[in-house]
């Protein structure tokens, strides 16, 4: 909005002034990469006119300097790649990513320790900028369905923002009460947009995807097809961190999926989660303390996290399951069976409550 209220009309307290900067504060790549930025900024039009594949230019990543440029390049190349793959929808996929796109994407990904696909770290964490002094936001790169997609990205970013205080003090074992009212972070005052075209392809990967059962050949990188999962909220660091802090143990199937999703986090994020996992268990400390107030506080945190996950299921049910195709009622963009997965992690979170 253009008012003094925060993004999407939230009061000023909900603006993103407290959010750490994205991995890159840059919104344009240096001059040699003008063609990349031109394509990225014109993605919706190029895809709509079925001209994106013919506009992919040959460039190398050798001129990029510093992690900010690398993160921005990964964001740009991941969006171009998704547009290239899904330009014609699920019936018009390709088996080979051309060398002039595959090689620089691979080089940038290797430098950052990220996979060569659109990740949550690109889609949400790196894809925002402040558009005015009031803290209102916009995305850097978009795809067809601009308004709905923009809302989807920025509301997800607000959820990340709501978790920041809890992450900061999580090591001191408090402040998870911020999750006690998850609807304050997830509710969109104008109504949450339904990103139907996003769910019809843009965010989906080529692992566990019937539309691309053979994976994708990255020309000039590997003669064999590679399989990567699409962007997923399961790649967000914050819930992994809270699970490890509270000692939540999910089912074998859900745990395997979440462990795989950690490989799509930036390496420092993965290291942070692993550091929490290796720390002395908070749950055991609460159990051995014999302190009823401490146990009650711990249980409030666990219940708040479970409530957050219940609200997430409500959001998915209302705004995502209704979107075509019906196959998305069973598979998410990351390749999980979405409803069984979400309900499973919610239920196992509830089981983390310490009995009296």
CATH, residue 323: 1.20.58.480
Query: How many residues are there in the chain?
Result: 356
- Identify the band that residue 77 occupies on the pLDDT scale cut at 50, 70 and 90: very high
**137: β partners:** 130
Q: State which H helix or E strand residue 137 sits in.
A: strand 137-138
Model confidence at 306, in pLDDT bands (50, 70, 90)?
very high
Confidence at residue 202, expressed as pLDDT on a 0 to 100 scale: 72
Task: Give per-residue pLDDT as tens, 133-147.
Answer: 888 899 999 888 767
Q: Is the sign of the CA dihedral 165, 168, 173, 179 positive or negative?
A: positive
Answer yes or no: pTM beyond 0.95.
no
**Cβ atoms within 10 A of the Cβ of 21, count?**
9
Answer yes or no: do 221 and 287 share one domain: no
User: In this predicted model, what pLDDT tens digit does every residue of 93-133 receive, in sequence order?
Assistant: 899 999 989 999 999 999 999 999 999 999 999 999 988 88
Claim to verify: residue 292 and residue 334 sit in the same structural domain:
yes
Q: Which residues pair with 217 in a beta bridge?
A: 96
The residues, ordered by sequence, that sit 6+ positions from 188 with a Cβ below 8 Å of its Cβ are: 8, 151, 155
Residue 336: what pLDDT?
Answer: 56
Judge whether 171 lies within some domain.
Answer: no
Q: Is residue 172 part of a domain?
A: no
308 occurs within a structural domain? yes
> How much is the pLDDT for 32?
79
Q: 181: annotated binding-site residue?
A: no
**Domain limits at 343?**
232-355
CA-to-CA dists, residue 283 to 134, 261, 304, angstroms:
41, 24, 16
Least confident of 115-124, 166-175, 312-321: 166-175
Angstrom CA distances, 147 to 15, 96, 153, 200, stand at 19, 31, 10, 16
Report which of residues 167 and 183 the model is more confident about: 167
Domain count of the fold of the chain: 2
């Amino acid at each position: 909005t253009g008012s003094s209220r925060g993004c999407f009309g939230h009061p000023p307290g909900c603006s993103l002034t407290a959010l750490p900067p994205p991995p890159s504060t840059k919104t344009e790549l240096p001059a040699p990469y003008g063609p990349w930025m031109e394509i990225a900024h014109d993605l919706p039009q190029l895809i709509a006119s079925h001209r994106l594949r013919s506009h992919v230019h040959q460039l190398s990543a050798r001129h990029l300097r510093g992690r900010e440029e690398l993160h921005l390049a990964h964001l740009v190349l991941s969006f171009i790649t998704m547009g290239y793959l899904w330009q014609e929808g699920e019936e018009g996929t390709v088996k080979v990513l051309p060398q002039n796109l595959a090689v620089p994407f691979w080089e940038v990904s290797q430098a950052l320790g990220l996979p060569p696909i659109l990740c949550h770290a690109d889609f949400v964490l790196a894809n925002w900028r402040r558009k005015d002094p009031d803290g209102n936001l916009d995305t850097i790169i978009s795809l067809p369905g601009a308004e709905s997609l923009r809302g989807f990205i920025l509301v997800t970013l607000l959820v990340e923002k709501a978790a920041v205080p809890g992450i900061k003090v999580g090591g001191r074992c408090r402040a998870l009460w911020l999750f006690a009212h998850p609807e304050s972070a997830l509710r969109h005052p104008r109504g949450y947009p339904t990103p139907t075209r996003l769910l019809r392809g843009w965010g989906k990967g080529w692992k566990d995807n019937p539309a691309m059962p053979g994976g994708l050949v990255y020309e000039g990188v590997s003669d064999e097809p590679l399989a990567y999962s699409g962007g997923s909220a399961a790649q967000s660091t914050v819930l992994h961190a809270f699970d490890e802090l509270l000692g939540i143990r999910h089912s074998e199937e859900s745990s395997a999926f979440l462990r795989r999703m950690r490989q799509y986090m930036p390496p420092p994020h993965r290291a942070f989660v692993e550091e929490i996992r290796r720390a002395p268990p908070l749950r055991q400390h609460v159990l051995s303390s014999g302190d009823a107030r401490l146990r009650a506080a711990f249980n409030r945190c666990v219940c708040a996290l479970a409530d957050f996950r219940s609200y997430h299921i409500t959001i998915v049910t209302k705004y995502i399951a209704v979107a075509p195709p019906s196959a998305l009622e069973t598979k998410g963009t990351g390749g999980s069976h979405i409803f069984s997965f979400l309900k499973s992690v919610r239920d196992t979170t509830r089981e983390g409550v310490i009995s009296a």
